[in-house]
Amino acid sequence: MMMTKLVTAAMPRKTWRDESFRLAMLLVTTKSCRQRHFDRLGYRAYYRDIPGSMWCLGTVESIAAGAFTFMTRANTQAISPFFIVSNVKQTITFYCDKLGFETRFREPDRNPFFAIIGRDGAQILIKSDKDVSPLPNSKRHPSMRWDAFVYAPNPDALAAEFSDYGATFSAPLTDTHDGLRGFEICDPDGYILFFGRPCNRPSVFDDDGQGTTVHLIP
């Protein structure tokens, strides 16, 4: 049965050092909410189910009385790195021709200085400026060379597709010493993207996919 830990309370900073100040400690399941002890000052507390979907909201008194509200947790879908490049048009051509990306925005349309390129949930913002040079991580430290990690559920199939496009791999498809399976691609400005996934992907859910029991501990 899955267990996770998280508690956050909105409270004045001075109370953090008050030894007599006690936060609410709850055992929350899909069927019950049981209070063990609670903050004597009655500050509003927020409790989150880490795996992802629900929030428990209320004052410690209302939670203790069983009068709390579950709220849907807001989602975040993706993150987009922002690369400073030497030539936006050249970068667009590389990603679209070699990696199957698409141009989602460019400004201006002719000789653009800014663009957004993407493929599925992967997206990159690129911009050029005559006074600023690209600075990929590989130029700062060779062992910390990745500029982006692109999650790919099937890196083997993706590598085969990129090969068909004529892409050159800066590091071939392999199982890395970090426990990842994937490959590296270096773009025209030296930015290195790793496409792959963990070799073993443990589920955060129980076998039934529910994950309904959460321990909330201050």
- The confidence score (pLDDT) of residue 65 equals 64
Amino acid letter, 8: T
Tens of pLDDT, residue by residue over 135-149, are 999 999 999 999 999
With residue 46 as reference, give the H or E element that holds it.
strand 44-48
CATH of 82-196, one of 3.40.50.720, 3.30.1120.130, 3.10.180.10, 3.30.465.10: 3.10.180.10
Q: What is the DSSP letter of 90?
A: H
- The segment(s) of the chain belonging to CATH 3.10.180.10 are 82-196
Percent pLDDT > 70 in the chain is: 59
How high does pLDDT run on average in the chain? 74
- The confidence score (pLDDT) of residue 214 equals 32
Amino acid letter, 66: G
Whether cis (ω within 30° of 0) applies to the bond prior to 108 is yes
Between 59 and 1, whose confidence is greater?
59
Spell out the residues 6+ positions from residue 19 whose beta carbon is closer than 8 angstroms to its own.
Answer: none
User: Distance of CA 77 to CAs 80, 122, 143, 197, Å?
Assistant: 10, 10, 29, 17
pLDDT of 118 over the 70 cut: yes
> Which of 182, 67, 86 shows the shortest CA–CA distance to 132?
86
Where is average pLDDT lowest: 17-21, 70-74, 167-171? 17-21
- The confidence score (pLDDT) of residue 15 equals 42
Q: CA 60, CA 38: separation in Å to the nearest integer?
A: 6
Question: What is the pLDDT averaged over residues 116-123?
Answer: 97
